[in-house]
Amino acid sequence: MKAVVYRGPETVEIADIPEPVIADPADAIVEVTRAGICGTDLHLTHTGDGLAAGNVLGHEFVGVVVAVGAAIRGVRTGDRVAGADFTACGACWWCRTGDQWECPQRSFFGSGTVFGPQLDGAQAELVRVPFADVTLQRLPDELSWDAALFQGDILATGYSAVRRAQFRPGATVAVVGGGPVGQMTSQAAQASGAGPVVVIEPVEDRRALAERCGAIATTPDEARSVIDALTDGRGADVVVEAVGGSRGLETALSVIRRRGILVSVGVHTDSSWEMPVARAFADELTVSFAIGNAIRHRDELAALLSAGVIDPTVIIDNRIGIDDAVAGYDAMRSRRSVKTVIAFD
């Protein structure tokens, strides 16, 4: 079968590899119909840390179950499903408390050994899914492949940030970054009762997309004045940092009000960050970090998607076949595409 594999830093290719097989009674095999190219894929393939040549990439996927192990009870062959971007056992203390990301048996699709044991990814015609009863979610017939694709990662990430913030209805929410996660965070905040949502993004096309989806968009240089005008000079009640790195965190701190809440969901690779603790103490800031958890929030996300309250398909601006996946990675790296999706049907 065809798959997108890692070959070296900044280098991916299309390869013919053996089809996956059931390796554990809790496995399922999914025929992939859509797979996304994600910012995390770009981060991982930039340096190759944790990746080995030949690792199959990708962690955003939907498809049809074509085989199940003997222990599977929740899904059947022929089911339309969406996959979470990581696996969890569903039985340990962490899973039972809803913190599946902390599961000792967690694996993250297509990321080498960065987030757990190596597990082949879903930018392939078929993918093996461990703990399939936990990792997969059956989809209602009315939910399209494109709409369901992002609930496993970027929509779950934005929604997790909104849930972590626990803001009051009408709160002013700022989102640092208008990439895929930032756009999903903006929609999730609006769906969860936010007042004005301000997306801070340097790229004009991404600002325009945010505005079409109901947000106020601004450049980083103008962000503070825009937010001050909305809040009588106080600053944003909540800021979600959806870029990663110190620059995104510093931008977030530049627009937050006293006693405000900062939630960072951008991917961080730096080992440390010089936090202005004197200001954080004096202003009583709350600073936290969140990772998307589609397993925990899947029922809420599916309901929002089915109702049309959130429309993640608006970010898809490049739909390709697997043979064009290398060009798709290039488009995402150069920011010529907000979101590139590999379609297999």
Q: What is the CATH number of the domain that holds 309?
A: 3.90.180.10
Q: What total of structural domains would you count in the chain?
A: 2
Pick the last residue of a domain from 248, 269, 289.
289
Both ends of the chain: CA-CA distance in Å? 14
Q: What is d(CA 109, CA 76) in angstroms, rounded to the nearest whole number?
A: 21
Residue ranges of the chain with pLDDT lower than 50? none
Whether residues 145 and 11 share a domain: the answer is: yes
- The reply to whether 309 and 268 lie within a common domain is no
Helix 154-165 with 294-306: angle, nearest 10 deg: 100
What is the C-alpha separation between 94 and 308, in angstroms, rounded?
32
Q: What is the structure's pLDDT at 156?
A: 97
The 10s digit of each residue's pLDDT in 78-124 is: 999 999 999 999 999 999 999 999 999 999 999 999 999 999 999 99
The per-residue b/e assignment along 230-251, b for 16 or more CB within 10 angstroms, e otherwise, is: bbeeebbbbbbbbbbeeebbeb
Claim to verify: residue 271 and residue 132 sit in the same structural domain: no
The pLDDT assigned to 267 comes to 86
CA distance 98 to 296: 6
User: Do residues 132 and 163 both lie within one domain?
Assistant: no
Return the structure tokens found at 244. Answer: 């990663």
Q: Do 232 and 315 belong together in one domain?
A: no
Distance CA 207, CA 189 (A): 17
- The CATH number covering residue 270 comes to 3.40.50.720
Q: Are residues 279 and 192 in the same domain?
A: yes
Domain shared by 123 and 200, yes or no: no
User: In this predicted model, what pLDDT tens digit does every residue of 259-288 receive, in sequence order?
Assistant: 999 999 998 888 899 999 999 999 999 999
pLDDT, position 271: 85
Same domain, 138 and 113: yes
How much is the pLDDT for 15?
A: 98
Bridge partners of 80, per DSSP, are 64
Which domain does 89 fall in, by range? 2-152+293-343
Q: Which of 289, 304, 333 is at the close of a domain?
A: 289
Same domain, 8 and 142: yes
> What does pTM read for this prediction?
0.94
Same domain, 119 and 198: no
Same domain assignment for residues 302 and 277: no
Same domain, 187 and 319: no
Cα–Cα dist 36/292, whole Å: 16
pLDDT at 153: 94
Q: Please report the DSSP string for 248-269 in residue order.
A: HHHHHHHHEEEEEEEEE-S---
The structure tokens 């049309």 sit at: 308
**pLDDT of 300:** 95
Domain boundary pick from 289, 312, 333: 289
Report which residue type is found at 63: G
